[in-house]
């Protein structure tokens, strides 16, 4: 992929994101947060979950 093609692709992605309604952006962010926690548990086991519980228990 040449530099101009990459720049065109990134510009299109940014513009399409900017044109989304704020509600859709919020839904995407929430989905990414859910997926991130699943990824951590899937690949790293119970360690991230245990640490999360330990740190939140003190609050």
- Each residue's pLDDT tens digit, 14-54: 999 899 899 999 998 898 887 776 666 677 778 877 888 88
Q: Where are the alpha helices (DSSP H) in the chain?
A: 3-18, 22-44, 47-57
Residue 5 lies in a domain: no
Q: What is the pLDDT of residue 8?
A: 94
Distance between CA atoms of 19 and 29, rounded to whole angstroms? 16
Q: What is the pLDDT of residue 40?
A: 66
Residue 31 lies in a domain: yes
Residue 53 lies in a domain: yes
Q: Is residue 47 helix, strand or coil?
A: helix
pTM: 0.46
Contact 45, 37 (CB under 8 A): no
Residue 14 lies in a domain: no
Q: What is the pLDDT of residue 37?
A: 67
More confident residue, 51 or 11: 11
Contact 49, 41 (CB under 8 A): yes
Q: What is the pLDDT of residue 58?
A: 62
Number of domain units in the chain: 1
Domain that holds residue 57: 22-59
Residue 38 lies in a domain: yes
Q: How far is CA 36 from the centre of its chain?
A: 7
Residue 8 lies in a domain: no
Residue 35 lies in a domain: yes
């Amino acid at each position: 992929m040449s530099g101009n093609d990459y720049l065109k692709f990134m510009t299109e992605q940014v513009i399409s994101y900017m044109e989304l309604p704020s509600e859709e952006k919020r839904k995407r962010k929430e989905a990414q947060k859910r997926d991130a926690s699943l990824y951590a548990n899937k690949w790293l086991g119970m360690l991230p979950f245990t640490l999360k519980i330990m740190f939140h228990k003190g609050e």
